[in-house]
A and B are shown apart, each in its own frame.
Chain A
Amino acid sequence: MQLLKSYILPRVVQWAVVIFVGVTVTFLIPRFSPVNPVDEMIGRMTAFQTIDPQAVVAMRATMEDLYGLDGSLLEQYLAFWRRLIQFDLGPSFQNFPTPVNEFIAAGLPWTVGLLTTTTIISWLLGILVGSLVGYNQHKPWAQALERVVIVVYPTPYLIIALILIFIFAFYWPVFPMTGGAQGTPAFTWDYISSIFRFGFLPALSIIIGGFAFRFIMAKALSTSEVASDYVQYAELAAVPKRRIVISYVIRNTMLPHVNDLALSLGAMFEGALIVEVMFGYPGLGSKLFTAISNADYNIIMGIVLMSIVGIATGSLIVDLLYPVFDPRVRLR
Chain B
Amino acid sequence: MLTTLRDLLRFSLSFRFGAFILLLVAVAVATSFFAADPPEKRRVVPRKFRGDPPSAQYVLGTTALGQDVFWMTVTGIRNTLIIASIAVVIGRGIGVMLGMISGYLGGMTDRVIQSIVESVIVIPRLPLLILIAVILKGGLTFVSLGILIGLLDWAYPSKRYRAQVLSLRERDFTHTAIFSGMSTRKIVIQEHLPFIIPFLLADMVSGFVFSIGIEVTLSYLGLNDLNSLSLGTQIYWANEWSSIYAGKPWVMIAPVVSVIVVAAGFYLVSIGISEYLDPRKRLVRLQTHAQADAAAEQAADPRKEKE
Tell me the A residues contacting B by CB distance below 8 Å.
14, 17-18, 20-22, 25-26, 29-30, 33-35, 37, 40, 138, 150-151, 153-159, 162-163, 166, 170, 262-263, 265-267, 269-270, 273-274, 277, 288-289, 292-293, 295, 297, 300-301, 303-304, 307-308, 311-312, 315
Contact = CB atoms under 8 A, between A and B. Distances in A.
B121 A166 contact: no
Describe B's contact surface by its main secondary structure: helix
A320 B14 CA distance: 38
B94 interface: no
Contacts, number: 144
B135 A154 contact: no
B134 A292 contact: yes
Interface of B: 14, 115-116, 118-128, 130-132, 134-137, 139, 209, 212-214, 216-217, 220-223, 235, 244-245, 249, 252, 256, 259-260, 263-264, 266-268, 271, 303-304, 307
B130 A300 contact: yes
Given A35-B139, A156-B259, A292-B222, A22 B217 contact: no
Contacts of A270: 124-127
B141 to A, nearest CB: 13
A20 B118 CA distance: 12
Nearest to A314: B122
Contact of A138 (B115, B130, B252, B303): B303
Given A37-B135, A150-B14, A14 B115 contact: yes
20 contacts: A30-B131, A35-B139, A138-B307, A154-B264, A156-B259, A158-B213, A158-B217, A162-B235, A170-B244, A170-B245, A270-B125, A273-B126, A288-B127, A292-B134, A293-B222, A295-B134, A297-B134, A300-B134, A308-B123, A315-B122
Nearest to B271: A150
A17 B115 CA distance: 7
B185 to A, nearest CB: 31
Q: Which of B128, B214, B222 has the most CB of A within 10 A?
A: B128
B119 A18 contact: yes
Contacts of A265: 122
Nearest to B118: A14
Contacts of B235: 158, 162
